[in-house]
Amino acid sequence: MSDTTHSPVNRLILGDNLEIMKTLECESVDLIYLDPPFFSNRNYEVIWGDEGEIRSFQDRWSGGIEHYIAWLKERVREMYRVLKSTGNFFFHCDWHADAYIRVHILDNIFGENNFRNHIVWKLNFTKKGSQFKMTRYAQNTDSIYFYSKTSKYCFETQRTQRRNEETLLKIYNKIDQDGRRYKSEPIELPKIMARKNLIFEYKGYTPEFGWMMSKKKLDDLDKQNKIFFTKNGKPRRKNFLDDYSGSEVDNQWLDVLPVGQVQSEIIGYPAQKPEALLERIIQCASNEGDIVLDPFMGGGTTAAVADRLNRRWIGIDQSATAVKVTEMRLDKQRGLFSAPFSVQLQK
């Protein structure tokens, strides 16, 4: 195998990711996203059907769940080694093995203290009927485990897209004296959240269980005309529609549509992930110029999105077909100012 340590980034590499990652320098990568083959269905696991993929399939399936976890674990150890101390790590899996993966691999290697989120992504929004009687709830989510390597890491809070205007007008259903549309929200704590240190008088009113914020924050809101009192003397907060830019993203990702509902992205790869999913991960957990590694590249979504978002990237796959499909995908989206990339075919 040729040495890849000093090769330029922005490269597609054909080969066993374990062996290739051993050639990468320690702490050289800012963000890792992996979507390895799930431990779900033997027939589904072979997608491209070429020699490299079949060999990898045989390696990971030969000894049941214990063998699968061992196969993944030695690879995640290498990922941990190449990840910078300020780096982030996102592991995409489904319900068949997610508990094993978190306990036996991720908590073990990254440490429980560096666990950040269990993200739940809803896969399908189309209700499907069945000719059979259901004996359990339908499985309709994937898990994405988010870990950092240390307590100092890159993270940028994001917001979802704005809801449609008709829905927003129903929510922001009040108009103040200045003609600004707003919704009314409480500004004092309920009994179950009582805070003695936040019980103080403000504008002649003292809440029984405390304010939701400090006096300084109340002053700031008041100066912005965002506090008002109802007819019965209760203080409330105005949240103006023109300040709304979407809700903060939490760990339930219900707004990212699967590829099947974004027809323009389909490349014929059954396990393909939507570009919006990778956009969210890359934008929240890295900066422009950072290096993104995807050791199970598949259809090349990570490389395509990282390239478009001005990140440097490394994509590895055992399948020659996967590398070729990704190369064609990158060529198709290239523009005048696109950074060059290389293709390395390992033995």
Is 2 contained in some domain? no
* 93 touches 142 (CB < 8 A): yes
Query: Which CATH number characterizes residue 282's domain?
Result: 3.40.50.150
Q: Are residues 138 and 212 in the same domain?
A: no
Q: Are residues 33 and 85 in the same domain?
A: yes
The reported pTM is: 0.76
Q: Are residues 223 and 328 in the same domain?
A: no
Encoding tokens for residue 92? 């995409």
2 compared with 163, residue with greater pLDDT: 163
Per-residue pLDDT tens over the stretch 280-296: 999 999 999 999 999 99
pLDDT of 335 over the 90 cut: no
Residues present in the chain in total: 347
Query: What Å distances lie between residue 128 and 24, 88, 133, 254, CA to CA?
Result: 45, 36, 13, 18
Full domain range(s) for residue 238: 167-243
Angle in degrees, 0-180, between the axes of helices 64-82 and 51-61, rounded to the nearest 10: 110
Last residue in a domain, options 243, 266, 284: 243
Q: Are residues 340 and 219 in the same domain?
A: no
Write down the pLDDT at residue 2.
Answer: 37
Query: What Å distances lie between residue 48 and 55, 320, 330, CA to CA?
Result: 12, 9, 19
Q: Are residues 147 and 259 in the same domain?
A: yes
Q: Are residues 255 and 333 in the same domain?
A: yes
Write down the pLDDT at residue 213.
Answer: 94
The overall average pLDDT reported for the chain is 87
Mean per-residue pLDDT for 6-19?
Answer: 83
Per-residue pLDDT tens over the stretch 218-275: 999 999 999 999 998 999 999 998 888 777 899 999 888 887 656 567 776 667 799 9
Q: Are residues 268 and 307 in the same domain?
A: yes
Last residue in a domain, options 192, 224, 243: 243
Q: Are residues 239 and 310 in the same domain?
A: no
Q: Are residues 48 and 130 in the same domain?
A: yes
Write down the pLDDT at residue 1.
Answer: 36
Is 132 contained in some domain? yes
Q: Assign 315 to helix, strand or coil.
A: strand
Last residue in a domain, options 218, 243, 268: 243
Is 4 contained in some domain? no
Write down the pLDDT at residue 157.
Answer: 86
Torsion, Cα 225 226 227 230, to 10 degrees, reads 100
**225: DSSP letter:** T
Q: Are residues 133 and 44 in the same domain?
A: yes
Ordered strands of the 227-229 beta sheet: 174-175, 181-186, 235-240, 227-229
Q: Are residues 336 and 281 in the same domain?
A: yes
Other beta carbons within 10 Å of 165: 9
Q: Are residues 264 and 306 in the same domain?
A: yes
Mean per-residue pLDDT for 100-108?
Answer: 97
Q: First-to-last CA distance in the chain?
A: 6
- Domains contained in the chain, number: 2
pLDDT of 55 over the 80 cut: no
* 146 touches 88 (CB < 8 A): yes
